[in-house]
A and B are shown apart, each in its own frame.
Chain A
Amino acid sequence: MGCGNTKPNQLQLKKCERGNIALHSSTAMRSALLIQRWYRQYVARLEMRRRCTWNIFQSIEYAGEQDQIKLYNFFAYLMDHFTPASSERNLISHIFRDNDLLRDIEWERYFNYKNIEIPDDYCGPHLTFPLTTCIVTELVEAFRNKQQLHSRYVLQLLGETWKLLRLLPNINHVSTCHSKEITICGDLHGHLEDLLLIFYKNGLPSMETSYVFNGDYVDRGKNSIEILLILFAFLLLYPNDVYLNRGNHEDHMVNLRYGFTKEVLGKYRLHGKKILKLLQKIFSWLPLATVIDQKVLIVHGGISDTTDLSIIAKMDRHRYLSSLKPPKHRRFLAKSKVCDDDSDVEDAGAVGSVERRRVFSLTYSSPSASLHRSMQQRRSLQSYSGVEEELQEQRRQAGLSVSVEHQSVCSETELTQAVEADAEEWKQLVDLLWSDPMSLDGCVPNEVRGGGCYWGPDVTEDVLNRHHLNLLIRSHECKQEGYEFCHSRRVLTIFSASNYYEEGSNRGAYIRLGPDLIPHVIQYQATRTTRDLTLRQSVGRTERSALRALREQFFAHKSDLMSVFQQYDPDNTGLISLKDWAVAMETVLHLALPWRVLRSQLVNSTQDGMLDYHSWFRELDITEPNKELAHTNVLETLYKHHSNLETIFRIIDTDNSGLISFEEFRQTWKLLSSHLKMEISDEAIVDLAHSIDFNHDGSIDINEFMEAFRLVDSTHHDMGNSMIEAPS
């Protein structure tokens, strides 16, 4: 049996002696204790890894959002500082033009779907109006089967939706006595499988099953348009039982960066542009909030200390095509109108006039901001000082400068008052769509996202009491369990896109609310394979993905990191201490991450606590696109500012064709280098352009270009692990 084998220690001897008698001795207890101690340590470390992984994803996500807003601010700055020689301005000026002056009849003409023929071989779903339950159910089924709705029907459906949305108030008022319970869903972000799962578990929207959808239907996931079409179809079918709120992603400026624009153009090559334009209008007409039984407030982002529902109820919400910019002031409707190629009727767009004043700040500066600055250090990314100065300058300009043609319209005081009233309204909107809760009292600018605020429990109490409300339900933030209460359960975050960062990263959830107004949360996770994963496996998988994303960041910042490393290695030994490595990471990347905790997973081998940083870079295992470029700083800019570059491309691509000319390509780089305050020579740009194959008569395909210069993690191709591949 056990006797006489090679490990003579106490445990083994005891085992020998006892034979078949059941162990209830101190031996058993000690062994059990040992296993328990070890296992609990193991679980704790898993938990730590999971938290780190989460932090990584979230930091990168929020850094991206902040980046986007900075880019936008930069454009606005360009607009306001017009110099006759700056041709770049012309490239982007169109994004500042509002086209809400187009009369309805002209819109209807523009979006006429009747001329669009359905080919005989079309086997996707058909729509007839008015919609019926049968038709809409079949639409859902068709999408489940990965079919695509023909653009004719898309335009028709969107047209009908727009007509309905225009009749809705800014704040939906819902009563639970109408139907017994109401279901509330959070962010979906193009995850069709989650919406289908909710419908499966909870039932399709109907007169018995009311739904409130709380924004962020699009971007990131790959079925954003299908989700919109389903929600709009149900809205048209059951207008008294389906309620839609606007999220911060229902915004064409955001969509340029986060994938919705790309998705639509990819799926609808011929009519994508029209669809996107119509969606711009529709997004602006989405209601901003829903109130249930006058007691429960549902908004996408949250609130601020100045939130006032009466102001929100009164505003012309459709003037805000994008929450990133304030609308043109009503009084400055130009007398003359100009038609451009698109046959949109647009304002003459006087240069330097008040309406083009800068988005003065999505994050206003309040006295308490500095108080919380140290608190924010970990979360706040780059400092805003440079931008703030520019903005103040523009604020001053906005107050004083009125373009000549409009001076006769109203006096300066009226102007400033009107401007302030507009600013107030705009702030209300931004706060509603962009804010996040925090645990400390007070209300401070949300510098992580770059828009809205962080609001504390005292603000929740105040706002809810002022409006005689009991509960605030909001979304906007991904939560591991799909939901989270805070502020003494007065605020409930609900997030409905499971596996948001990665397979297994989080669950999704929805809320059922009855007449007692007590929220019941139901959780789920799309993809059976992720449900069956053990804790260890799902943490491992998400973690690998996060670390991959981080390694790409390292590679993209290689030259900056190298120069900091070399500062710590004055004798050029090629080695730096691990401590210096951590400091370098913090300094260069501006991602508030626990570098010392992550170190063991990012640094493979050390000699006596010293790291060979050259080989560390090699070991990062990132495959560079195989382009021989003489100008490496251009390449690195490409990696670092991938998303910004793509956003600018898409803005410049005014006809949304996915193609830009070489000249536009050059202008893009000029814009980007201007924003980044770096020098890129014309020669470098020409070189870059020539390294890509020109496909269409000297045009560059945006998608191909971005794909060609995407960093690929070499280990991504390793399928050696026993991970189950989830069906897509």
Chain B
Amino acid sequence: MALNFFDQFLSPTHLGIPLVLIAMIFPWVLYPSPSNRWLNNRLVTLQGQFFNRFTQQLLLPLNQGGHKWALILLSLMVFLLSINMLGMLPYTFTPTTQLSLNMGFAVPFWLATVIIGMRNQPTAALGHLLPEGTPVPLIPVLIIIETISLFIRPIALGVRLTANLTAGHLLIQLIAT
């Protein structure tokens, strides 16, 4: 029945420990902290190269001030990447299929960027609400539209991640039966 397809997204509890807790802590095991030796083991070396390349690509469009965000962005992305990839293994549980987790990521991040932008340079932050080169009659409408899009952004981001992962898992299960 169609109802059973969504049962895979429940978080089972066993001995009082929910599986979501294990699923969120397990990626920590896969990334050992590199020692300050000159030659590390292969796993740490490969991960270091991957993270370096990833951060370099991430920070390309940002100026010097944006580099402060490198650590938080990298850790968030690697966390989500590993959780989603681990969800591909059989019988595992993917925490990002739960809307609560994704909104818990989306809203604080979005709010932090907006508030920091408003505090550091309020005119530029407000100026983002109006794209350059808009015709004068359109200005009021566009400001309203841009404000709405600003506030919808966390909901869009959170729901997008949830929907993508849920749809993917559901599709896999539909094809398999």
Specify whether A and B are partners: no
Residues on B facing A (Cβ under 8 Å): none
Residues on A facing B (Cβ under 8 Å): none
